[in-house]
Amino acid sequence: MFVRVEHVRTEEEYIGDDTPREECGVFGVWAPGEDVSKLTYFGLFALQHRGQEGAGIAVGDHDQVVVFKDIGLVSQIFDEPTLGALQGDVAIGHTRYSTAGNNSWDNVQPMYRVSPNGTDVALAHNGNLTNYVELQREAVERKLIPADGVEGQGSSSDTAVVSALLADAIRDDVTLLESARQLLPRVKGAFCFMVTDGKTLYAARDPHGVRPLCLGRLERGWVVASETCALDIVGASFVRDIEPGELIAIDETGVHSERFADAPHAHCVFEYVYVARPDSVVDGQSVNSARIDIGRRLARVAPVDADLVMPVPESGTPAAIGYAEESGIPFKQGMMKNAYVGRTFIQPSDTLRQLGLRLKLNPVREVIEGKKLVVVDDSIVRGNTQRKLIRMLREAGAAEVHVRIASPPVKWPCFYGIDFASPGELIANHGRGGNEEVVAESIRTMVGADSLAFVTTEDMIASTNQPASNLCAACFTGEYPLGLPEGNHNADLVRRLQKGENAS
């Protein structure tokens, strides 16, 4: 059952839209006797960094599944009365950034379907599918979704397609588990699915393990989440990572596991660089430790004579700490971040829009005035944020601004769950054809830094303590381990670039 909220918010505006857009976060809990809706709320709160466009919770009580969702932040959507009305033994939740399907209410998750035999099915998904067009065509032919994807007639997302196919196969002689066994081997790309029929919690991770997924233990139940930080916030103890290609089912008899496919691992390296929270552990590696180590390596390969090291908060902080420790240059907070800005539902005027980054970050003049700065950031995408940031620091009195980036140049779009720009919009491609030094110098000139350097791909990978063969670094290298999707304009551009053709 859906509870639909008719929101009256204006179109959302990002304050500083140059950062990579995270994909989504999923959370599930099976815990009879516990307040599963509130546990899911707090779990989603911990995963808010993975998506800020919409959120939803589905709760099952054996008789039915109730879904409540809306556009906005978790704290804007749910309140005590709403959570109090969502009673049951099992729940799944989702916080969303729209990498597939536009940002409408229909596309907010969890998705809800009723099977031919009357079984309620709710599904939440983190990632992107590479064979979405094939699956969509099948769902349209079977009249499970509208052919034109018209607004108001149902979701246009890959999650909606999977939900429709999964639910439609359930009959009196075919259970939800059996339907999942049939469908999952046919789904290609990056995915973590959380599914419930109101009785059992199901979770699946794609055979490559692109996106993280972990299992935790409550005193009276179990939790599955995108990151371990969500386990921490609800008081669950970490048990293990869900393995790539694994499907688990949790009910009163415990946790049951089976494999639905095997494939070479391709964990997303950008989880360690930017996406995951520093207090999470991804596939056995502390994210905070990986980022600090990246900073240390960056200091070795790109030293600079400076007075202080400062991060672009908050994502640049661990790498900046590592850079300072390795270089011996003092670490200081040279900018303050307004934690309550980042997503606003108020349309700013033209005058306020010009403030841009200042609404989010503001220099601490007494710290930086007259100083030679090493400014550490996690990545550069289009370069707009860095250009404005460097101008702000100079206006605040910085003598020199040396930029150090804790990832290699982003040259290729992601088709597995992170919304990078098209190849032509990425600032690193303005120097396409040159070596890394040429690219860095080109970017330095465009953003106005005194010097600029990136960590190498080899050093970034070494900091994860994962074999290079187990990682996906396609956004840096252009090598796509899961292949490219069909019917995608950016994927067609990439194919042409890989062949050495002009993609303009």
- Which residues are annotated binding-site positions for [4Fe-4S] cluster? 268, 414, 472, 475
Catalytic one among 24, 192, 214, 229?
Answer: 24
Question: Residue 2: phi, psi to the nearest 5?
Answer: -95, 140
Between 132-141 and 158-168, two packed helices, what is the crossing angle to 10 degrees?
50
Measured in residues, the chain has a length of 504
3-class DSSP state of 380 = coil
Count other C-beta atoms under 10 Å from residue 142's C-beta: 11
Closest CA to 429 of 416, 413, 418: 413
The letter for the amino acid at 396 is: A
Gap between the Cα atoms of 196 and 124, Å rounded: 9
Show binding-site residues: 268, 315, 377-378, 414, 472, 475
> Is 38:101 a contact under the CB 8 Å cutoff?
no
The answer to whether 192 is a known catalytic residue is no
3-class DSSP state of 298 = helix
Q: For residue 314, is the peptide bond before it cis, meaning its omega torsion is within 30 degrees of 0? A: yes
Give, in order, the Cα–Cα distances in Å from 132 to each of 1, 322, 391, 438, 487. Answer: 26, 41, 43, 38, 9
Show binding-site residues for Mg(2+): 315, 377-378
Question: Residue 158: phi, psi to the nearest 5?
Answer: -65, -30
Helix H segments across 8-111?
A: 36-46, 74-77, 80-85
Q: In which element (H, E) is residue 223 found?
A: strand 221-225
Question: Residue 255: phi, psi to the nearest 5?
Answer: -100, 125
Helix H segments across 261-404?
A: 270, 287-301, 317-327, 350-355, 365-368, 384-395
Q: Which residues does the annotation mark as catalytic?
A: 24
